[in-house]
Structure 1
Amino acid sequence: MNTQELAQDRVEDAGHFGWLRQLTKAERRTFIGCKVGYALDAMDTQFLSFVIPTLIATWGISKGDAGLIGTVTLLTSSLGGWLAGILSDRIGRVKTLQLTILWFALFTVLSGFAQTFNQLLVLRGLMGFGMGGEWTAGAILMGEVIRAKDRGKAVGMVQAGWALGWGVSALLYALMFSLLPAELAWRSLFLLGILPALFVIYIRRFVDEPDVFLAEQRRSEHAEQARFTEIFSPRMLSTTLRAVLLTTGAQGGYYAITTWLPTFLKTERHLTVLGTGGYLAMVIAGSYVGYIVSAYLTDRLGRKRNFILFAVGSLAIALAYTRLPVTDNVMLLLGFPLGFFVSGVFSGMGAFLTELFPTRMRGSGQGFCYSMGRAIGSLFPFAIGAAGQSLPLGHAIGLFSAGAYGIMIVAALTLPETRGKRLES
């Protein structure tokens, strides 16, 4: 543990944001690098959701084809997250962060030059490797740099960058499609994906490797370097599997709700507010506030209690959407708690996974657990669609949401509480 962190632990916070003022210059630069990097990751990722209607109209692809692009991106991001974790244990957190940002920026730009569906499918699939890898590298980096008592807040506020990037992508979509014809606007939007590559200059110049990682690297010079398979050793296997269940529940519930709720509300409730900018703004605002509130609660309540609180809240809002009679006006207001709970549940994830694994295998463990949860969770929308053939869609959404968040709660109860844990050096 570095001396600056030990000294900071003796300083009392002044208000809710006192910890931010106590950050050293190096910590502040790392915080900015990780948060902006994740926001840019979200921006490039969310571009696709805005251009799908244009692609359907101009290329004549089906909704199934459009959905396939999203599924392939999720699956490659799962593999990319694990590979980035392994790489971060080998070459460093900062170098891996730079590589993943350059990777997803490159393939976002190339997507703007795609001439066929198959080309776009391949390019977005390749982009997914960097998308998933950036989260892994950034979460580990921020978790190792910040002092133990504020790790949840810091990593959670980095996670909140996703909502900011989502909002920026919506604004750029509105701007491009107001200035250019649709067949050019969607390409221009992807070409703006070059912006994250420029941010790598900042990371390269101002962000350093964490002291705890450098100490582990020096130790590894005189000992056998960890293998990524150590997360499956008898000592770590139980932790790894339970962490996978935790992330599967969070991401399975998220994909189940966000993928099928709009279809359910449009086709069975005949609501029209879902596709409006106002509803999207409410969901994005709720997401950002949820990330921030959860970031603070994960340090105040503890990791496990916070996970359970937001899992129960997410399930409650899903049941409210599918079981209660609602109007367009009520649905607009419900957009805020929807974003609040289903996004906020992720805020403590990065800090918790950082604390569960030793430094020598932290990248491999964190990358595998989050990525495997994403891969399994991405199957929940398919399962709901299949179940919807024999069950009312609302019941299928409620059933699989309850299953996902139930798994998450059970996993949280069985895992150790890690709030305030100091990382070994």
Structure 2
Amino acid sequence: MSTFNELADPIAQGIWPTAKQSWSDLFKWKQRVVVYNESGETTTEWQTPPRLRNPFSLMAQLTAMNWVFFIVGLAAWTADAFDFHALSIQTVKLSKYYKVTKTDISEAITLTLLLRSVGAAMFGFAGDKYGRKWPMVANMIILGLLQIATIYSTTFNQFLAVRSLFGLFMGGVYGNAVAMALENCPTDARGLMSGILQQGYSMGYVFAACANLGVGGAIETWKTVFWIAAGLSIGVGLIRCCFPESKQFLENKKNGHKKAPGAFWQETKLMLARQWKMCVYCIILMTWFNYYSHTSQDSYTTFMLTQKGLNNDGASRASILMKTGACVGGTIIGYLSQFVGRRRAIIVAALISACLIPAWILPQGEGSLSASGFMMQFFVQGAWGVIPIHLNELAPPAFRSSFPGITYQLGNMISSPSAQIVNAIAESNFVTGATGKRVEAYGPVMGIATAIIALGIAVTTAFGPEKRGRSFEIPVAVDMMQTKDIEEGRDSMDKHEVNEERIEKTETR
């Protein structure tokens, strides 16, 4: 990033001044940057964002080992998403198998999301303390075993109990996968690779929908999809055994020196005490985002089956095309965020998705629903494509595994009733379906909810922080000596010597 030495006002301190400065900076093309020199002195200046670069040249910056870590992280996140969507896209089958309502089945989704935050804390702190490797290995293998246990659940209560336990271990995947995949990436390539990584969630949905399409619409076929999910999770865990620990984790541990027993947990309390405002902001943002994705997709297959009258094969094909749009949108918008900014990319994508809602729920027929679903999820997951690197850049370096996972999963916990709420309201209200009969009002419920959520994301992001291009090489020991909340605009590095010749830390407001 080039420097023009044009001085800027210091980063604002306090919640309200920071929000005002964030809103103002949103309309300025240059970035407000805090620069630290080797003596620890700081200046705040305006800098021009990096030029848009060829994505293939950015990917070429990754070494072979960078690619190994990225691909394993992507595979873990994809398998995690497959495990989750193996249930959500088979809601109708499962309701018939257990002889309960679709709302009852969505209760399993609620329980899964509710307990993911606990798993995120457990495995996130384990990843920061013991490394990215073995916590992920244990996590993925146990997930596969729980998928098998789901298959052998003979009663609905057993099914709910296993899915609750499944949620506990599912929550541990995201934080470790994101940290392992992105902390080793070159700075310029982070936006692009973040967009690709986040699409592991969409790819998991696509693979689950393909499996559902392949096994057909018979009630008992849901078990085959769960067997496939179990194989994927266990396979990823075994593959992770073959590769070394994250280099960034090892370097951070080395820079942090040897710690006495319990020191890590003392640092955790210190981080929460000093950066609680950043934690709260990220949890609010992730709550919006999790409502955004679950409201717009978890009941979409059910919507096509009930309100639009599609058969299982047609609904599965439309779902596959819909999430293909998500994969494309997340990659492109994540890539563009490196140039236009994380916040601008999220806001524009969210607002466009809100404008597309009528075209998303009103069409009839597989072709029209596939096209509108493709465009809708292009922007929904396009906004999501920025999130992995956005959270990683906001996270304290010593907690880059736990912070994104915990904030993401706490947002998931708060938004956990989303599918259940949509199903309950839709089953209590009726509209005229494609066949002329009165059917559950899934379309209007999803449309109104998604519009409210998209606007909430735009407003929350507009007044929030951004640290695009933040150095991931700041020593852990220095980072833990912070004396002010980052969002209040001041690090302790202005009082302590920094070992690097020059660290640039970007805080776009």
TM-score of the pair, normalised by structure 1: 0.85
How far off its partner does 1:30 sit?
A: 0.4
Aligned residue type for 2:127: S
Q: Is the Cα–Cα contact under 8 Å of residues 101 and 197 in structure 1 kept in the other structure? A: yes
Q: Give me the whole-angstrom Cα distance separating, in 1, the residues matched to 2:66 and 2:298.
A: 37
Q: In 2, distance between residues paired with 1:49 and 1:34?
A: 23
- Find the residue that maps to 2:75 and give its secondary structure: helix
Change (3 A) 1:189 1:384: closer
Matched, 1:157 2:173: no
Deviation at 1:404, TM superposition (A): 2.2
Does residue 112 of structure 1 match 2:151?
yes
| Residue 298 (structure 1) aligned with residue 337 (structure 2) | yes
**Which range moved further: 313-322 or 107-116?**
313-322
Name 2:268's counterpart in structure 1.
228
Counterpart-to-counterpart distance in 2, 1:213 and 1:17: 29
Q: CA deviation at 1:107?
A: 0.5
| Unaligned runs of at least 5 residues, structure 2 | 1-50, 432-440, 476-509
Contact 1:144 1:210 in 2 (8 A): no
Equivalent residues of 1:13, 1:19 under 8 A apart: no
1:190 is matched with 226
TM-score normalized by structure 2? Answer: 0.72
Partner of 1:355: 393
Judging changes above 3 Å, is the alpha-carbon distance between structure 1 residues 14 and 316 closer, same or farther for their aligned structure 2 residues? closer
Q: Aligned with 1:326: secondary structure?
A: coil
Residues in 1 aligned to 2:280 and 2:236: alpha-carbon distance in whole angstroms = 35
The 1:396–1:51 alpha-carbon spacing in structure 2 relative to 1, beyond 3 Å, is: closer
Structure 1 residues 308 and 273: CA distance shift in structure 2, 3 A: farther
Larger radius of gyration: 2
Deviation sequence 1:126-177 (CA, Å, 0-9, x none): 1222222111110122221112221122122122122222222233333344
Distance across 2 between alignment mates of 1:142 and 1:284:
22
Deviates more, 1:388-397 or 1:250-259: 388-397
SS of the equivalent of 2:245 reads coil
Q: Which among 372, 379, 382 is matched to residue 410 of structure 2?
A: 372
| 2:281 is aligned with 1:242 | yes
Change in 2 beyond 3 A, CA 1:355/1:65: same
Give the whole-Å Cα distance in 2 for the aligned partners of 1:212 and 1:43.
28
- In structure 1, the residue corresponding to 2:241 is in which secondary structure? helix
User: Which residue identity is paired with 1:326?
Assistant: P
Secondary structure at 1:145 match in 2: coil
Change (3 A) 1:38 1:387: closer
Q: How has the CA–CA distance of structure 1 residues 29 and 365 changed in structure 2, closer, same or farther, with 3 Å as cutoff?
A: same
Which of the two has greater strand per residue? Answer: 2
2: CA distance between counterparts of 1:163 and 1:236?
A: 31
What is the CA deviation profile of residues 218-258 of structure 1, one whole-angstrom value per residue up to 9, with x for unaligned ones?
Answer: 5152574354344431x312111111121111111222223
Confirm or deny that 1:17 pairs with 2:56. yes
Match for residue 242 of structure 2?
A: 205
Cα 1:308–1:231 shift into 2, 3 Å: farther
Corresponding residue for residue 340 of structure 1: 378
Structure 1 equivalent of residue 6 of structure 2? none
Are residue 174 (structure 1) and residue 213 (structure 2) matched? Answer: yes
Per the TM alignment, residue 14 of structure 1 is displaced from its structure 2 partner at its CA by: 7.8
Q: Secondary structure at the match of 1:102?
A: helix
Match of 1:3 in 2: none
Contact 2:72–2:181 (CA under 8 A) maintained in structure 1: no
Aligned residues: 407
Q: After superposition, what is the alpha-carbon deviation per residue over 1:372-416, rounded to whole angstroms, capped at 9, x for unaligned?
A: 111122234455567776999666545433332233223322322
1:209 is matched by which residue type in structure 2?
S
The separation in 1 between residues aligned to 2:267 and 2:253, in whole angstroms, is 14
**Is contact 2:116–2:171 with CA below 8 Å preserved after alignment?**
yes
Secondary structure, counterpart of 1:44 in structure 2: helix
AA partner of residue 211 (structure 1):
Q
Which has the larger displacement, 60-69 or 134-143?
Answer: 60-69
Note the 1:11-410 alignment, pairs <5 A: 15-177=54-216, 182-183=219-220, 185-192=221-228, 193-211=230-248, 214-216=251-253, 218-222=255-259, 224-225=263-264, 226-233=266-273, 235-259=274-298, 270=308, 272=310, 276-321=315-360, 325-328=362-365, 329-382=367-420, 397-410=446-459
* Alpha-carbon spacing, 1:78–1:190, altered in 2? closer, same or farther (3 Å): same
Identity, % of aligned positions: 23
Q: Which residue does the alignment assign to 2:21?
A: none
Structure 1 residue aligned with 2:483: none
For the 8 Å contact 1:248–1:408, the answer to whether it is kept is no
Say if 2:106 and 2:419, in contact at 8 Å, map to a contact too.
no
Instruction: Tell whether the 8 Å contact from 1:86 to 1:367 is kept in structure 2 after alignment.
Output: no
Q: Distance in 2 between matches of 1:356 and 1:69?
A: 32
Letter in 1 for 2:240: I
Equivalent position amino acid for 1:18 in 2? S
| Residues in 2 aligned to 1:150 and 1:327: alpha-carbon distance in whole angstroms | 41
Determine the C-alpha separation between the residues in 1 that align with 2:208 and 2:102. 21
Question: How many angstroms apart in 2 are the aligned matches of 1:385 and 1:173?
Answer: 21
- Give the number of the structure whose residues are more often helix, by fraction: 1
In structure 1, the partner of 2:471 is 422
Q: Which runs of 5+ in 1 are unaligned?
A: 1-11
Is this contact kept in 2: 1:54–1:186, CA < 8 A?
A: yes
Distance in 2, Cα, partners of 1:111 & 1:266 = 24
